[in-house]
Structure 1
Amino acid sequence: MTDSSAAGAAVYSPLTLALYDAWVLGISNRYAWRCPTQTVLLPFFRANVRPRHLDIGVGTGYYLAKTQLSSQTQITLLDLNPSSLEAAKRRIARPGTRTIQHDVFKPIPGDERFDSISLFYLLHCLPGPLDAKAAIFGHLKHNLQPDGVLFGATILGDEAGHNAFGRKLMAVYNKKGIFGNRHDTEAGFEGRLREHFRDVTLKREGCVLLFRAAQPIV
């Protein structure tokens, strides 16, 4: 784990987690990134969750808690930050929910496969150039069932056309190491996803890229 990746994970303390939903999912998504949680991100999440699901970069567990999951749905949470894992598991409050404290840059130990894997607001928090962070697609495709789906959302970099509020947050977050996305582009992510998946769908909402990838190339 690099110092930069530690900075991106460490920001999620118990205090910031308590404020996360109001600040990130409420104010920032609507006014800075122009991608409302309730009308865009949550429906996208709900549409792609499958019975055996791995959630990476769990935040507060908001999306899983707000999705009407079947009683048969099995949830695994993966994050570098133990505070996030604890908060998300507590909020979801589903018997059998598993947690894995792990650095997503490294392959997940074992050969377990999932029906769906979500990466919501993770990629823009990872350090390094786009090529380095997109390498996780190559790891995660081996954790998908052949008919599984990898999906997520990420805030794009400078070329996304941020408004004044967004530019200010981008500057502060990138300086502190919370974000590492100044050079993240839609074309860049599309190219890397297509290296590993045959079926790739992208949607842009404001400065946020929503992506869905299926049919892993192995």
Structure 2
Amino acid sequence: MAHEESAPDTSYTPTERTVPTRARERAAYDHDTVHAILDAGYVCHLGFVRDGDPIVLPTLYGRVGDRLYLHGSTGSRPLRTAGETADPGLPVCVTVTHVDGLVLAKSAFHHSINYRSVVVHGTARQVVDPDEKTAALDALVDHVLPGRAADSRPGNTKELAATAVIRLDLREVSAKIRTGGPNDEPEDLELPYWSGVLPVAPVYGAPIPADDLAPGTPQPPYLTAR
């Protein structure tokens, strides 16, 4: 009998921490949904515990396959903790959220937002391999603006020494999405108040050249394509 290779996983396994207590029908665990939400943004919130107190910090991130990379100063407490050899890794929770619309109901209670969000639980570890660190930093730059890493000077020895990168594997992950209009109570439908959705979307303005940009420097195509 021929050996059959198992099909690759296409979804993250739900856990006690990734199954919501409310609106479970809005949760998703498939890779395509989770990755699409992560790839649509570049600012996340990194949560951890420091000296017994909860801390949440906004920072940039980049995704490479099933890994998230976050960066900061080598003087950052969470990044230092993630690199300690006595107790390797830092337990963290990373969240990414996009607001797609303001949901205006006839009652104040049923006002809501349409959103896409991802929550990642896991242990972050500092990246020490030079090649992985360089690739991670390129991924961070390209995640914000695809094509920019190859169109800028890479970090030098001093800059790389001052920059720490942590890695978080995507294993305990969930997405949650709300779409659609307001969920008004039947008895409120005849009330004389406007109801519906006000869409929200990010807008990029026209690029503004630096004051010291050399005359004649062409604008890169990845800016005009946005």
TM-score (norm 2): 0.25
Q: Which has the higher contact order (CA 8 A, sep 6+)?
A: 2
Larger radius of gyration: 2
Between Structure 1 and Structure 2, which shows a larger proportion of helix residues? 1
Between Structure 1 and Structure 2, which shows a larger proportion of strand residues? 2
